[in-house]
């Protein structure tokens, strides 16, 4: 559990009750959760909080939808991992999201344990990614010094 | 549409065709028939008239020739010569030689009617003609030709007489004309079987002997004659049996139609002879006179009748055939409409279902999450000793389970509505079926169902999505197994080719589907399964899938005997080629 404490998650969904309940449940499992109720809000949140590692993104939202939001996120923060959350009607778009670089997709209503494990996987992938980048930088720096 | 409608259509087409084809036929027949009839009739009548005129001339000239001959004799010889029996014999001999026996005898009669000299076969010297009609008539004019009469000798004959003056006294030179010879002149006028000619005098007495016995209603002919016939023949009075055909022309010839007691109709060509004293009548049966015309008419009429009958026959056949085709087309159209409606219904319901499913997913997700949250909270210290903790947990689990069921339903709804996410592949249907049967083998074993496969060799490849086809087959198989679950039974899968289709028959010998349900089994949400067991979407999804690839899904069911689903998938020609 302790390792999860560090994971910063952003929930983006237009269903306020869903976001709030899921926040409570995930917080209880020691995740630190940020909330956003639209694509735009999510992007704003990201620009203010650089510590977010994993985003749980609903596909179908009024205004800017999940796919559009995903494109923006991947453009600005390529290292962030995104888990698409979908109703069944939008499975195709969720898969389309994965083609655009999302980590995975989940169907509503989702099992909490499944969600947690996906989040964990995503976070560890991101951290590995970052580590590789750091090491590459170190290598570069040491090479330069040498 | 009802039979009445089609029968009415047959009738209207038939009557139109008959009317349009027969009306001009009738018109042409009537017009040409009329012209032909009148032309032929007038030609025949003209011919008969010409014939009669010719004979009139012949007979008239014969008679006046004889008068002229006697006149020449009377003028050429002296009173003494004529009043002398021997010289009279001599003259008669000459006349007979010159005229081939036309003159029978020669007599010289004084003004008292006593025949003072006679030459001929009879002994008529000193015979008295004082009371004879011809004598009184002859005394009135210069020349005289008598009617035919029996006279003193008791044989039919007539007399040609010329008046001569001698020493203030009037004498008559008379000669008898051979009746047989004269008769031949008239008798020779004969055309066809019934045409014959005869001569009557003003009193209606025959002047010639008709070839066959002619019964003449004398008064009718006399009606014609009693007018001043020396000028012209007049139309008979209206009440007579004559039907007047042509008025007298310049030669004084008229044509009338008469009818005898036996209802035979005759054409009569009538003219006058001997300055109106005699009447020459040529009579012929109408049927005989116009025989050729009537033959042609009968021929034309029979052609017309046969033609009309065949037109009517054909019109009936053709309209039957046309209406039959219309009926078939109507039926096809109705079926197509039915299918379009079915497809449209499914499409709109699919769209509706997708919307509903998506809208329901969110609240269900929230409910499940809330239940999960409560579950989370229940793990906290303050609830640990709660009396109803177990009950709470059970209820929350139930909410979770039911939420998942909702998810299951919406999932099916959505796959029903899903446009297409499956890739089309060329597949061998037999392989697919074998796979599925293997898949359901376990269930068949438990339900005591005997699965028989009867798969045709060399089945062509079809283009479809294997997973969708799997779904269809599984759905039907599962339904069949559900139906036979309690009793067990036989399930048969048969594949074969039918025209350009690959066909799959899936038959079970379960309880069958009631008639009332049969029409509804493809309707979405129609199910006979207990609540919670079936969504009623399976077969409508199957229908949608098969319909999408241009195939057909049919069902036949007999209560107590079983149900057969038939799937038909179109085979594309190019695929066939690659197979060969």
What is the full DSSP assignment across B456-520?
PSSPPPEEE-HHHHHHHHHHHHHHHHHHHTTT-EEEEEEEEEETTEEEEEEEE-SS---HHHHTT
Q: How far apart are the first and last CA of chain A?
A: 42
Across the 580 residues of chain B, what is the mean pLDDT of every consecutive 10-residue run? 82 90 88 89 87 87 87 85 84 85 85 85 80 82 83 79 83 86 78 80 74 58 54 49 62 76 79 80 84 87 91 91 92 82 69 75 88 88 81 90 83 61 76 84 83 89 82 86 85 90 91 85 79 72 84 89 91 54
Residues of B within 8 A of A88 (CB-CB) are 357-358, 361, 410-411, 414-415
CA distance B433 to B428: 9
- Per-residue pLDDT at A1: 40
Q: Nearest 5°: phi and psi at A21?
A: -65, -45
Which residue in B184, B182, B266 sits closest to B217, CA to CA? Answer: B266
Q: What value does the CA radius of gyration of chain B take, rounded to a whole number of Å? A: 59
Burial class (CB in 10 A: 0-12, 13-18, 19+), B276: middle
A87 touches A113 (CB < 8 A):
no
Q: Which of A13, A61, A86, A87 to mutate to test the interface with B (most CBs of B within 10 A)?
A: A87
Residues of B within 8 A of A15 (CB-CB) are 362, 365-366
Distance from CA of A61 to the nearest CA of B (A): 11
CA A95 to chain centre: 16
- Per-residue pLDDT at B222: 58
Q: Which of B365, B380, B404, B415 to mutate to test the interface with A (most CBs of A within 10 A)?
A: B365
According to DSSP, the residues that pair with B185 across neighbouring strands are none
Question: Residue B247: how many CB atoms within 10 A of its CB?
Answer: 12
What are A22-45's pLDDT values in tens digits? Answer: 999 998 888 899 999 999 999 999
CA distance B21 to B312: 9
Matching residue, tokens 């494990």: A117
Q: Is A87's CB within 8 Å of B372's CB?
A: no
Please, what is the Cα angle at A74 between A72 and A76, to 5 degrees? 70
- Per-residue pLDDT at B64: 87
**How far apart, in Å, are the Cα atoms of A70 and each of A40, A56, A121, B292?**
11, 10, 19, 107
Interface size A-B, in CB pairs within 8 Å, comes to 61
Residues of B within 8 A of A24 (CB-CB) are 373, 376
Q: What is the torsional sign of CA B475, B478, B482, B488?
A: positive
B305 touches chain A (CB under 8 A): no
Residues of B within 8 A of A21 (CB-CB) are 366, 369-370, 372-373
Please, what is the Cα angle at B282 between B161 and B212, to 5 degrees? 90
Q: Is B373's CB within 8 Å of A108's CB?
A: no
CA A76 to chain centre: 13
Q: Is B364's CB within 8 Å of A112's CB?
A: no
According to DSSP, the residues that pair with B109 across neighbouring strands are B115, B172
CA distance B16 to B104: 78
């Amino acid at each position: 559990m302790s390792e999860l404490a560090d994971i910063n998650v952003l929930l983006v969904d237009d269903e306020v009750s869903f976001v709030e309940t899921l926040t409570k449940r995930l917080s209880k499992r020691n995740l630190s959760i940020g909330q956003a109720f639209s694509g735009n809000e999510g992007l704003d949140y990201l620009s203010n909080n650089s510590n977010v590692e994993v985003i749980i993104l609903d596909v179908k939202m009024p205004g800017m939808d999940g796919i559009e939001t995903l494109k923006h996120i991947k453009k600005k923060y390529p290292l962030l991992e995104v888990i698409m959350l979908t109703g069944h009607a939008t499975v195709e778009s969720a898969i389309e999201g994965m083609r655009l670089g999302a980590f995975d997709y989940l169907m509503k209503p989702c099992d909490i344990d499944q969600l947690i494990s996906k989040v964990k996987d995503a976070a560890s992938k991101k951290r590995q990614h970052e580590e590789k980048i750091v090491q590459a930088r170190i290598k570069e720096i040491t090479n330069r010094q040498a | 549409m009802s039979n009445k409608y089609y029968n009415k259509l047959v009738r209207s087409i038939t009557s139109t065709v008959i009317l349009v084809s027969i009306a001009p036929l009738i018109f042409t027949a009537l017009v040409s028939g009329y012209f032909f009839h009148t032309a032929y009739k007038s030609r025949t009548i003209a011919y008969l008239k010409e014939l009669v005129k010719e004979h009139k001339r012949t007979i008239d000239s014969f008679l006046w020739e004889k008068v002229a001959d006697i006149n020449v004799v009377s003028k050429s010889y002296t009173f003494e010569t004529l009043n002398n029996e021997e010289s009279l014999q001599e003259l008669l001999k000459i006349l007979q030689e010159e005229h081939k026996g036309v003159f029978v005898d020669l007599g010289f009669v004084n003004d008292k009617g006593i025949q003072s000299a006679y030459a001929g076969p009879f002994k008529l010297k000193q015979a008295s003609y004082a009371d004879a009609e011809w004598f009184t008539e002859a005394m009135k004019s210069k020349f005289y030709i008598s009617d035919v009469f029996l006279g003193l000798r008791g044989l039919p004959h007539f007399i040609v007489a010329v008046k001569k003056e001698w020493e203030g006294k009037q004498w008559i030179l008379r000669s008898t004309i051979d009746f047989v010879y004269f008769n031949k002149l008239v008798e020779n006028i004969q055309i066809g079987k019934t045409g014959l000619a005869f001569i009557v005098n003003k009193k209606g007495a025959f002047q010639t002997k008709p070839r066959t016995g002619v019964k003449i209603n004398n008064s009718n002919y006399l009606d014609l004659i009693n007018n001043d016939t020396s000028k012209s023949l007049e139309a008979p009075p209206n009440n007579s049996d004559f039907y007047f055909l042509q008025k007298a022309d310049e030669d004084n010839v008229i044509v009338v139609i008469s009818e005898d007691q036996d209802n035979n109709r005759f054409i009569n060509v009538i003219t006058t002879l001997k300055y109106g004293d005699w009447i020459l009548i040529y009579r012929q049966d109408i049927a005989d006179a116009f025989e050729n015309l009537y033959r042609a008419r009968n021929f034309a009429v029979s052609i017309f009748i046969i033609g009309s009958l065949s037109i009517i026959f054909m019109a009936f056949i053709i309209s039957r055939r046309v209406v039959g085709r219309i009926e078939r087309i109507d039926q096809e159209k109705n079926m197509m409409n039915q299918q379009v409606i079915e497809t449209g219904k499914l499409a709109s319901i699919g769209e509706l279902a997708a919307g509903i499913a998506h809208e329901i997913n969110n609240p269900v997700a929230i409910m499940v999450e809330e239940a999960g949250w409560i579950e989370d909270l229940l793990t906290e210290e303050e609830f640990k000793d709660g009396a109803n903790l177990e009950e709470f947990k059970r209820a929350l689990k139930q909410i979770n389970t039911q939420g998942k069921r909702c998810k299951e339903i919406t999932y099916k709804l959505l796959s029903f509505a899903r446009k297409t996410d499956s890739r089309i592949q060329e597949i061998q249907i037999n392989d697919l079926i074998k796979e599925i049967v293997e898949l359901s083998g376990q269930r068949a074993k438990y339900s005591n169902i005997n699965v028989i496969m009867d798969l045709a060799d060399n089945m062509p490849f079809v283009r479809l999505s294997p997973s969708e086809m799997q779904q269809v087959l599984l759905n039907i198989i599962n339904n069949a197994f559900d139906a036979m679950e309690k009793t067990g039974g036989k399930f048969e899968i048969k594949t074969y080719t039918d025209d350009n289709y690959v066909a799959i028959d899936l038959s079970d010998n379960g309880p069958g589907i009631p008639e009332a349900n049969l029409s509804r089994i493809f309707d979405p949400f129609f199910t006979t399964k207990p609540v919670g067991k079936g969504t009623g979407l399976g077969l409508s999804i199957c229908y949608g899938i098969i319909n999408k690839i241009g195939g057909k899904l049919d069902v036949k069911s007999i209560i107590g005997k079983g149900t057969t689903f038939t799937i038909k998938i179109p085979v594309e020609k190019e695929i066939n080629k690659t197979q060969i």
